[in-house]
Amino acid sequence: MSSRYDTAELNRLDKQHFTHPWTIFDVFQEQGALPISRGDGCYIEDSNGRRYLDAVGGLWCTNIGLGRSEMADAIAEQCRKLAFANPFVDMTNVPATLLAAKLAELAPGDLNHVLFSCGGSTAVDSSYRLIQFYQNCRGKHTKKHVISRKNSYHGSTYLSMSIGGKAGDHPPEFDFISDFIHHISCPNYYRAPAGMAEPEYLQFLLDELEQTILRVGPDNVAAFYAEPVLGAGGVIVPPAGYHQGTFDICRKYDVLYISDEVVTAFGRLGHWFASKDVFGIEPDMIITAKGLTSGYQPLGACIYSDRIHQVISEPGHGRCFAHGFTYSGHPVACAAALKNIEILQREQLLNRVQQLGPYFQQQMKTLEDLPIVGQVRGMQLMVCVENVRCKKTKALFPEELDIGKRIADHAETLGLIVRPIVHLNVMSPPLTISRSQIDDIVATLRKAIELTINDLYAEGHL
Ligand code: PMP
């Protein structure tokens, strides 16, 4: 492609025809998008041949790194052998069967059943259909409501976006489902009421969940959706005890605990799944995507419990779970996932994250000496820099200053990709990142923030 089309031509075609996710149309028409044409390990290259260290890992997804021939071979081989097979009812394909079994082996507790989808959003949608089916099968016909958190991100379909709680993703031009979805507080201690000690804050959060279940009615609440660490909401690690506390409340009121591990699984936090191995809970369902194939193919999965499966498949009822996609368990995507898991295992990348993650966090934390860095937070290979106008009051810059984007733009000019989310910058590099690449990220980001501070002074914002 890039040999036939130069960058200017690509930009023109892109502006005319590609409606990008999260585009501000007039800004896009002015600035266009960076055409990426190659990737290798932790680096990406644009159509002019310029290289960037991709600290975002694509979009929290390129866990094993880009450009692996072994992945290309596995995908090509599966395409040649069998590019597609009907997954409905009485037909299956080998990679899908093997992957479902592998996920059951890797997932905690009795999560032994897998519902495949085409990505994270469709997995979240599928999970709700499964939950509704389960609750109806067990005669709990009113159990349809869902509780999730403000600032959470669960996807971009109508339902998954409605379950998500990011205010910026709920603009007035869109309608959302509100009659059966309830958002409680985001467990972000940095933004807790001033002077509130962490244990007190934790109790407030747990009480709020319990009160919400009681207000909506335990007979009406089907499920609680939670990312173990909120990703797009700004890498928010809840206070210690939050996961167990929310889990216990869900158990008390017969509310399913759905762990959205689209970001946190497949090594991002140093384990296959974070729910059990990092936070000590065994949810009723884990939703995953992204690192499942490291972005080499689109794929998502809901991995759910024996308990749910026993109810929906109870002998003698002849029930049909009328749900599924043409591409549920797509053989090429599943073959990519199997090879990806093999590489994660063979190269012991989960151990690597456990060893390098603390170094990444510690080095990133050094940026807190900068005058606009309010907090650097995260866990293992997920990190967020929260930029503020005043460190003492934690006051934010006006949204239209787009502080995160300014920093990301400077970083890009310096050869580093970081992701801006309003006033935040988030990072989730491939698990293959080295110490020296971590040092590069930190040094370049420091420079980008310093350049932004200079701009802010020059423009009179500081
Ligand atoms: N859940 C979470 C926690 C996510 O971070 C995302 C994507 N960022 C999704 C769901 C949706 O996944 P996808 O974009 O693959 O549909």
Task: Kindly state whether residues 255 and 150 are assigned to the same domain.
Answer: yes
Q: Using CA atoms, how far apart are residues 259 and 277, in angstroms rounded to an integer?
A: 13
The answer to whether residue 154 sits within a structural domain is: yes
DSSP 250-308: HHHTT-EEEEE-TTTTTTTTSSS-HHHHTT----SEEEE-GGGTTTSS--EEEEEEHHH
The answer to whether residue 23 sits within a structural domain is: no
| 125 CB within 6 A, ligand 1 | no
The answer to whether residue 25 sits within a structural domain is: no
Task: Kindly state whether residues 189 and 233 are assigned to the same domain.
Answer: yes
The domain spanning residue 387 has which CATH number?
A: 3.90.1150.10
How many whole angstroms from 294 Cα to the centroid of ligand 1? 13
Task: Kindly state whether residues 105 and 50 are assigned to the same domain.
Answer: no
Q: Is the pTM of this model over 0.95?
A: yes
Whole-number average pLDDT of the chain: 97
| 449 CB within 6 A, ligand 1 | no
Which pLDDT score is estimated for 1? 45
Model pLDDT for residues 7-18, shown as the tens digit of each residue: 899 999 999 999
The answer to whether residue 357 sits within a structural domain is: yes
Q: Which atom of ligand 1 is nearest to the CA of 298?
A: 15
Nearest CA owner, ligand 1 atom 13: 120
How many whole angstroms from 89 Cα to the centroid of ligand 1? 27
Task: Kindly state whether residues 138 and 163 are assigned to the same domain.
Answer: yes
Model pLDDT for residues 433-454, shown as the tens digit of each residue: 999 999 999 999 999 999 999 9
| 121 CB within 6 A, ligand 1 | yes
Task: Kindly state whether residues 288 and 388 are assigned to the same domain.
Answer: no
How many whole angstroms from 165 Cα to the centroid of ligand 1? 13
Task: Kindly state whether residues 292 and 371 are assigned to the same domain.
Answer: no
Which pLDDT score is estimated for 462? 87
Which pLDDT score is estimated for 43? 98
Model pLDDT for residues 38-97, shown as the tens digit of each residue: 999 999 999 999 999 999 999 999 999 999 999 999 999 999 999 999 999 999 999 999
Which pLDDT score is estimated for 6? 86
Q: Are 375 and 382 in contact (CB under 8 A)?
A: no
The domain spanning residue 125 has which CATH number?
A: 3.40.640.10
Tell whether the model's pLDDT for residue 314 goes beyond 60. Answer: yes
How many whole angstroms from 120 Cα to the centroid of ligand 1? 5
| 227 CB within 6 A, ligand 1 | yes
Model pLDDT for residues 347-395, shown as the tens digit of each residue: 999 999 999 999 999 999 999 999 999 999 999 999 999 999 999 999 9
Nearest CA owner, ligand 1 atom 1: 154
Who contacts 159 (Cβ-Cβ below 8 Å, separation ≥6)?
Answer: 124, 125, 128, 177
| 153 CB within 6 A, ligand 1 | yes
Which pLDDT score is estimated for 233? 97
Q: How many CA atoms lie within 13 A of 395 on its CB side?
A: 7
The residue range of the domain holding 60 is 34-64+348-458
Model pLDDT for residues 126-154, shown as the tens digit of each residue: 999 999 999 999 999 999 999 999 999 99
Average confidence (pLDDT) over 210-231: 98
Task: Kindly state whether residues 49 and 74 are assigned to the same domain.
Answer: no
Tell whether the model's pLDDT for residue 4 goes beyond 80. Answer: no
The answer to whether residue 18 sits within a structural domain is: no
Task: Kindly state whether residues 170 and 104 are assigned to the same domain.
Answer: yes
How many whole angstroms from 99 Cα to the centroid of ligand 1? 20
Task: Kindly state whether residues 152 and 232 are assigned to the same domain.
Answer: yes
Describe the crossing of helices 94-106 and 331-346 by its angle, rounded to 10 degrees: 40
Task: Kindly state whether residues 60 and 89 are assigned to the same domain.
Answer: no
Of 324, 346, 368, which residue constitutes the final position of a domain?
346
Model pLDDT for residues 392-428, shown as the tens digit of each residue: 999 999 999 999 999 999 999 999 999 999 999 999 9
Task: Kindly state whether residues 43 and 80 are assigned to the same domain.
Answer: no
DSSP 100-164: HHHHHHHSSTTEEEEEEESSHHHHHHHHHHHHHHHHHHTT-TT--EEEEETT----SSHHHHHH-
Which pLDDT score is estimated for 409? 97
Model pLDDT for residues 234-286, shown as the tens digit of each residue: 999 999 999 999 999 999 999 999 999 999 999 999 999 999 999 999 999 99
How many whole angstroms from 460 Cα to the centroid of ligand 1? 38
The answer to whether residue 433 sits within a structural domain is: yes
| 281 CB within 6 A, ligand 1 | no
| 297 CB within 6 A, ligand 1 | no
Q: Using CA atoms, how far apart are residues 394 and 363, in angstroms rounded to an integer?
A: 22
How many whole angstroms from 459 Cα to the centroid of ligand 1? 36
| 262 CB within 6 A, ligand 1 | yes
| 231 CB within 6 A, ligand 1 | yes
pLDDT grade, residue 5 (50/70/90)? confident
The answer to whether residue 9 sits within a structural domain is: no
Of 312, 346, 380, which residue constitutes the final position of a domain?
346
Of 318, 346, 374, which residue constitutes the final position of a domain?
346
Q: CA separation (Å) from 158 to 178, 191, 343? A: 11, 29, 35
| 232 CB within 6 A, ligand 1 | yes
How many whole angstroms from 289 Cα to the centroid of ligand 1? 7
The answer to whether residue 20 sits within a structural domain is: no
Tell whether the model's pLDDT for residue 3 goes beyond 70. Answer: no
Q: Are 181 and 258 in contact (CB under 8 A)?
A: no
How many whole angstroms from 24 Cα to the centroid of ligand 1? 20
Token pair 């606009």 is at which residue? 372
Task: Kindly state whether residues 415 and 436 are assigned to the same domain.
Answer: yes
| 206 CB within 6 A, ligand 1 | no
Average confidence (pLDDT) over 103-114: 98
Q: Which value does ipTM take for this structure?
A: 0.99
Q: Are 380 and 353 in contact (CB under 8 A)?
A: yes
Number of domains into which the chain is organized:
2
